């Protein structure tokens, strides 16, 4: 069965360190997304990609970067981790089609809980 996985599931790091969170999907979807989830804010979009070599900034992109070298993976990098980046991070993928029932339904990974000390 197709799936979307994230690793690690839990990570503790120190302020100033570089951290990379992995996201891998076997849906063969063109679209991939990174969100962070914080109490009272729901899910906020960090970065997204509509295909290989395409990346775009979301509403909370400062301090984060992504790269898309293949269809399956969209790693999220925190260049210099800050305590404000302590959060739960979700990766999602979709294959937008206006003719498909459900349109741009996104499929979510299980999340990565990141703590920055």
Residue 49 CB, nearest approach to other proteins (Å): 11
Give CA–CA dist 86/45, Å, rounded: 15
**Site residues for other proteins per CB under 8 A:** 31, 33, 35, 40-45, 48, 50, 58, 90, 92, 94, 96, 98, 102-111
Give CA–CA dist 74/108, Å, rounded: 13
Residue closer to other proteins (CB basis): 14 or 105: 105
Residue 101 CB, nearest approach to other proteins (Å): 8
Burial class (CB in 10 A: 0-12, 13-18, 19+), 104: exposed
Residue 30 sits at φ, ψ, to 5 deg, of -80, -35
Residue closer to other proteins (CB basis): 2 or 14: 2
Angular region, 51: left φ>0, alpha ψ -120 to 50, beta rest: left
Residue closer to other proteins (CB basis): 16 or 103: 103
Residue closer to other proteins (CB basis): 53 or 98: 98
Q: Which residue has the tokens 């993928």?
A: 93
Residue 14 CB, nearest approach to other proteins (Å): 25
């Amino acid at each position: 069965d197709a799936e979307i996985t994230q690793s690690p599931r839990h990570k503790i790091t120190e302020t100033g360190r570089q951290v990379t969170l992995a996201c891998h999907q076997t849906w063969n979807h063109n679209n991939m997304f990174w969100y962070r989830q914080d109490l009272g804010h729901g899910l906020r979009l960090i970065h997204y990609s509509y295909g290989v070599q395409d990346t775009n900034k979301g509403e909370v992109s400062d301090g984060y970067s992504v790269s898309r070298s293949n269809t399956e993976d969209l790693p999220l990098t925190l260049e210099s981790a800050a305590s404000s980046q302590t959060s739960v991070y979700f990766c999602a993928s979709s294959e937008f089609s206006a003719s498909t029932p459900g349109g741009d339904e996104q499929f979510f990974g299980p999340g990565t809980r990141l703590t920055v000390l």
